[in-house]
Amino acid sequence: MIQINVIRTDGWLPGLLGLALLAGCASQAPQNSASANAELDRSTMSLAEAPDVLLLGEQHDAAAHQAWQQATVAHWAARRQLAAVVLEMADAGHSTQGLAPSASEAQVQQALAWNDKGWPWRHYGPAVMAAVQAGVPVLGGNLPRAQMRDVMQQTRWDSHLPAAAWQRQLDAIADGHCGLLPDTQLAPMARIQLAKDDSMAQAATAQLQPGKTVLLIAGRGHVLRSIGIPTWLPAGTRSVVAIGQAGSQAQADAADRDWVHSTPALPAQDHCAALREKWKK
pLDDT attached to residue 12: 22
Q: DSSP secondary structure string, the chain?
A: --EEEEEETTEEEEEE-------S-TTPPP--HHHHHHHHHHHHHTSSS--SEEEEEE-TT-HHHHHHHHHHHHHHHHTT-EEEEEEEEEETT-B-TT--TT--HHHHHHHTT--TTTS-HHHHHHHHHHHHHTT--EEEEEPPGGGHHHHHT-GGGGGSS-HHHHHHHHHHHHHHTTT-S-GGGHHHHHHHHHHHHHHHHHHHHTT--TT-EEEEEEEHHHH-TTTSGGGGSPTT-EEEEEEEEESSS--S-GGG-SEEEEEPPPPP--HHHHHHHHHH-
The 10 Å CB-count burial string (b at 16+, else e) for 247-279 is beeebbeeebbbbbbbbeeeeeeeeeeeeeeee
What torsion do the CA atoms of 83, 89, 93, 94 make, to the nearest 10 degrees?
-80
pLDDT tens across 144-188, in order?
999 999 999 999 999 999 999 999 999 999 998 888 899 999 999
Is 5 part of a structural domain of the chain?
no
pLDDT(124) > 60 = yes
Do residues 194 and 264 make contact, with C-beta atoms less than 8 angstroms apart? no
Is 22 part of a structural domain of the chain?
yes
pTM, whole model, 2 decimals? 0.84
pLDDT tens across 2-37, in order?
333 333 222 222 222 222 222 333 334 455 666 656
- Can you give the residue range of the structural domain that contains 232? 14-265
Is 153 part of a structural domain of the chain?
yes
- CATH number of the domain encompassing residue 33: 3.40.50.11550
Is 272 part of a structural domain of the chain?
no
Alpha carbons 86 and 221: distance in angstroms, whole number: 16
pLDDT tens across 238-276, in order?
999 999 998 877 778 888 999 899 889 988 777 788 777
Do residues 191 and 220 make contact, with C-beta atoms less than 8 angstroms apart? no
Is 29 part of a structural domain of the chain?
yes
pLDDT tens across 91-117, in order?
999 999 999 999 999 999 999 999 999
pLDDT attached to residue 16: 21
What torsion do the CA atoms of 274, 277, 278, 281 make, to the nearest 10 degrees?
-170
For all residues of the chain together, what is the average pLDDT? 85
Is 6 part of a structural domain of the chain?
no
pLDDT tens across 217-231, in order?
999 999 999 999 999
pLDDT attached to residue 13: 21
Is 233 part of a structural domain of the chain?
yes
Is 91 part of a structural domain of the chain?
yes
Q: Could you give the number of structural domains in the chain?
A: 1
